[in-house]
């Protein structure tokens, strides 16, 4: 929801209408990546702070420094904050902006994947490893080779392969990588290098991970998001095109790629038959929340699916002080997902 509209919000009323409550209220958390590991729910969120940075369209005010892992013994249990799992000061290659992370489990190890800006101001994606799902995580000395941009989301497929989906526009820098090299021109412009409205929209990327989950096993490939006629969504189709917040879940053998539309604030999804796509636009999962960003994950717990998302209701609309929430979602008979409104009318 755009910043300018929050002046009119009565937050007491809004909180009464909210379909769910923040999972924790003693810290601000956002961009929740939820997983069901070993019979418990683990949530890997961003840890929002107010670092005093000015607001801008590059997201400089999202100046996060560390990650805390939340855990829930069951879907009805209270969420527990397990403290600092990784701090930027412990990551040799990263200088600032620990944005939306994800995690994966392989054998007895847990892997935290995270984007951060290096000392050159360029976002890369790193990985850190732990024996425990709550950390602490030990980072690799360097970022993943050939990684770029933000918002990693890792799918463990049924055949044992792991795939990372990633990318984000504006401050997430995806538009700076159109030639395969980082374009440093117009450093303060979030929109320089974007396609024209009548050109195909920029696409997110996917790369299979190596067996040790520490590197890409292949050059990242774009994944196509198509409309109902089989055409790529256009850059000017702001209500449907990919912006950031990639996520992948599977349902009845189909691959559901979900994402945020950024400046129009929807969480949408597209359906495909394999991890590389193409994916056909399927609709909206979540209508806009309070706060500019919308970012989510979908986690299967036994036979139910839950949407983890965030809003800025606890901070009364401060866009970079968000709170993680959760609600059950429904896949309908035809495979589509029922759209959720975060606040009742
Ligand atoms: O939390 C920082 C950034 O805001 C994330 O990386 C984006 O997806 C958006 O939620």
Angle at 9 between CA 81 and CA 243, to 5 degrees: 65
CA distances (Å), origin 320, targets 47, 50, 99, 129, 317: 10, 7, 11, 27, 9
pLDDT at 1 over 80: no
Q: Please count the helices (runs of H) and the strands (runs of E) in the chain.
A: 1, 21
Q: Binning pLDDT at 50, 70 and 90, where does residue 8 land? A: confident
What's the mean pLDDT in 289-305?
97
Distance CA(191)–CA(199), nearest Å, equals 15
List all residues whose CB is within 6 A of at least one atom of ligand 1.
Answer: 30-31, 46, 59, 62, 99-100, 150-151, 168, 244-245, 293, 295
Whole-angstrom Cα Rg for the chain = 18
pLDDT at 164 over 90: yes
Q: Binning pLDDT at 50, 70 and 90, where does residue 304 land? A: very high
pLDDT at 327 over 60: yes
Q: What is the pLDDT of residue 75?
A: 97
3-state DSSP helix/strand/coil % of the chain, to nearest 5: 10, 40, 50
> For the segment 183-229, what is each residue's pLDDT rounded down to a tens digit?
999 999 999 999 999 999 999 999 999 999 999 999 999 999 999 99
Distance CA(56)–CA(70), nearest Å, equals 29
What ipTM, to 2 d.p.?
0.98
pTM score, whole prediction: 0.97
The number of the ligand 1 atom at minimal distance from the alpha carbon of 295 is 10
How far does the centroid of ligand 1 lie from the alpha carbon of residue 117, in Å?
Answer: 13
pLDDT at 95 over 70: yes
Question: What is the residue whose two structure tokens read 């590197």?
Answer: 215
How far does the centroid of ligand 1 lie from the alpha carbon of residue 187, in Å?
Answer: 19
Distance CA(195)–CA(339), nearest Å, equals 29
> For the segment 112-130, what is each residue's pLDDT rounded down to a tens digit?
999 999 999 999 999 999 9
Contact 285, 329 (CB under 8 A): yes
Closest listed residue to residue 140, CA positions, set 78, 211, 212: 212
What residue's CA is closest to ligand 1, atom 2? 99
| Residues catalogued as catalytic | 31, 244
């Amino acid at each position: 929801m755009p910043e300018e509209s929050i002046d009119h919000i009565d937050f007491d009323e809004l909180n009464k209408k909210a379909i769910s409550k923040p999972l924790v209220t003693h810290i601000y958390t956002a961009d929740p990546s939820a997983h069901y590991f070993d019979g418990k729910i683990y949530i890997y969120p961003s840890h929002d702070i107010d670092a005093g940075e000015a607001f801008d369209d590059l997201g400089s005010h999202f100046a996060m420094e560390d990650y805390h892992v939340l855990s829930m013994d069951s879907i009805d249990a209270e969420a527990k904050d397990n403290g600092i799992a990784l701090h930027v000061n412990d990551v040799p290659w990263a200088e600032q902006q620990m944005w939306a992370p994800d995690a994966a489990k392989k054998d007895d190890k847990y892997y935290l994947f995270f984007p951060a800006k290096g000392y050159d101001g360029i976002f890369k994606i790193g990985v850190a490893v732990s024996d425990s799902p709550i950390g602490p995580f030990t980072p690799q000395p360097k970022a993943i080779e050939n990684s770029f941009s933000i918002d990693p989301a890792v799918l463990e497929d049924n055949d044992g392969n792991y795939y990372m989906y990633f990318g984000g526009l504006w401050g997430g820098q995806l538009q700076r990588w159109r030639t395969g090299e980082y374009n440093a021109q117009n450093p303060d412009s979030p929109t320089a290098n974007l396609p024209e409205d009548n050109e195909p929209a920029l696409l997110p990327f996917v790369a299979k991970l190596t067996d040790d989950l520490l590197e890409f096993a292949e050059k990242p490939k774009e994944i196509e998001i198509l409309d109902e006629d089989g055409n790529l969504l256009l850059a000017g189709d702001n209500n449907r095109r990919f912006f950031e917040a990639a996520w992948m879940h599977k349902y009845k053998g189909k691959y559901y790629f979900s994402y945020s539309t950024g400046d129009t604030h929807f969480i949408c999804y597209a359906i495909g038959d394999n991890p590389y796509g193409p994916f056909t636009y399927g609709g909206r999962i979540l209508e806009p929340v309070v706060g500019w960003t919308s970012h989510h994950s979908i986690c299967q717990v036994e036979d139910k699916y839950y949407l983890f998302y965030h809003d800025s209701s606890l901070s009364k609309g401060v866009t970079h002080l968000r709170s993680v929430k959760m609600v059950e979602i429904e896949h309908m008979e035809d495979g589509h997902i029922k759209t959720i409104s975060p606040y009742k009318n």
